[in-house]
Amino acid sequence: MAGTKRTFNDMLNQYLAYELLKAEQQKRNFVMSRVETDESWRGGDLIVPFQGGSASSFKYGGLTAVGNVSENRYVRGVVSGYKEIWGTMMFHSRDLMEHGGGGGAGEVSEQSFLKNLPDTITQFMDDLKQVVSVNFLNGTHIATLTATTTSAVGIFFVDHPERVTLQQYLTLKDADSTISGYVSAIDMNTGSVTVSTTRADSLLAVPISPVSFAAANTQTAPFSKVYVDGADTVGNAFTPIRDQVLSLANGGSAQLFGQTKTAFPYLQSTNVNGSGLTSATFLDGLFDFVNFHRTLGRMGADELVMSYKKLGTVMKLLELKAGAYRHVKSEANLYGWTTITIVGVKGEFKITGVQEMDNDVVYLADWRGLKVHTNQGFKKQADPEGKVYTTVRAADGFEYYVDLCFYGELILNRPSTWGVLHSIPTTF
């Protein structure tokens, strides 16, 4: 007999030698842990005023002619509305009624969600925060293809398989095509992801209806990106640091706060091309990058943020170049990132390796200039009566949906104090 559907309860009356096992992962919320958050934005335009130009009338031998006198120029920057992201969980009524600890038969209380499935909603909220943080740090995509895909069995290879989840609905998009599907298999060692056209109820089921990439002949990186549902639509996802610090010519946005970057030095972060760097010259390139930023008179940024892979290259070079560079100290953070301080002939700075950082850029960060503006932060969506779940009746039982949401945007309000080393080879 089919009966009403349940998922977690299938295990509750059996002997379990182990508690529910979960994969241990480092928290991928570096940005959310480092930036200031303002939860008072209630929608509408967010005004970001800045000084676009300053008085600069100087003359030797006499007074500046009246018609040549310049003045301070102030610009009204605008961020037009915040972005939003939603996360949804589903519970079955039979799971909640049989072991939820509610009242009488058939009664489901709000506390059942937390009593029956300990930490489930909290864990899902943490996962949502990590998705947002990765978006803030790297871009609207969560992964990039590492090879051309012509597979007819729904398999493609990515640089960050750890950002993908089983049963997740993903979109693969390049310059020519857009293909979507449900993740049915992940190989963490090879980076392969298998997607199907339909989602299986059981993770143990054989992948069904694999998506075919053969006809699309999907292009290789950097044209092919993998997106969380909806993030591939322009304007849906949050504006990442990458877009804000890179110029249009280097892959970033043309505007910031509604103003053209090239019109105002204040909106221009220091962009340095790192395409010519190698594993042997990377550390020298970092010092040259920092030094060039400082020669422009831009101070305040004192921390280089990079991937673990790039941090590993730095640490190897420190052993080889002990005469030119001195490793002062190392700090390991409980969130999983590592910071080392280096002194060289051109000064001292910190280098931080972050697990969720992409491998083709390095940020020179000034954390004073970054702020998350949001409407009350991350929260559970509630109806006017205060109920935080929605009931849906189906033939195999009632289903309860919990919606989590985040409204906001990432604002880089001191763009000129930031720098970015871009187009770095990903081979080292």
CA distance 330 to 336: 13
- For residue 343, the surrounding DSSP H or E stretch is strand 338-344
Cα 196 to chain centroid, rounded = 25
| Chain centre to alpha carbon of residue 332 | 21
pLDDT in the model for residue 187:
94
The answer to which of 4-8, 16-20, 181-185, 385-389 has the lowest mean pLDDT is 16-20
Q: Using CA atoms of 100, 101, 103, 104 in order, give the dihedral in degrees to the nearest 10.
A: 70
Confidence of residue 10 (pLDDT cuts 50, 70, 90): very low
Q: Torsion angle, CA of 287/289/294/298, rounded to 10 degrees?
A: -140
The residues with which 170 forms a beta bridge, in sequence order, are: 181, 228
Round to whole Å and give the CA distance between 383 and 334: 37
Please give the pLDDT value at position 303: 93
CA–CA distances in Å: residue 58 to residues 5, 63, 69: 79, 8, 9
Q: Which two tokens stand for residue 135?
A: 């978006």
Q: Which residues of 194-233 are buried (b: 16+ CB within 10 A; e: fewer)?
A: bbbeeebeeeeeebeebbebeebebeebeebbbbbeebbe
Domain with CATH 2.40.30 in the chain: 140-236
Strands 419-422 and 303-307: unpaired
Angle between helical axes of 308-320 and 282-295 (0-180°, round to 10): 100
Give CA–CA dist 41/21, Å, rounded.
39
Report d(CA 79, CA 369) in Å as an integer: 16
Q: What is the pTM of this model?
A: 0.84
Which of 143, 416, 426 lies closest to 306 in space, CA to CA?
426
The percentage of residues in the chain with a pLDDT greater than 90, rounded to a whole number, is 46
- Name the one residue in this structure whose structure tokens are 């909220």: 125
Percent of the chain with pLDDT over 70: 81
Question: Which pLDDT does position 335 carry in this prediction?
Answer: 53
Please say whether the beta carbons of 308 and 355 come within 8 A: yes
Tokens of 315: 């640490």
CATH of region 140-236 = 2.40.30
Please state, in angstroms and rounded to a whole number, the distance separating the CA atoms of residues 125 and 114.
13
- Beta bridge partners of residue 307, listed in sequence order: 354
Q: Please, what's the largest Cα pairwise distance for the chain?
A: 100
Given a cut of 60, is residue 103 above it in pLDDT? no
Q: What is the mean pLDDT of the chain?
A: 83
Across residues 288-298, what is the average pLDDT?
90
| 253 touches 244 (CB < 8 A) | yes
Local confidence band at 397 (pLDDT 50, 70, 90 cut-offs): confident
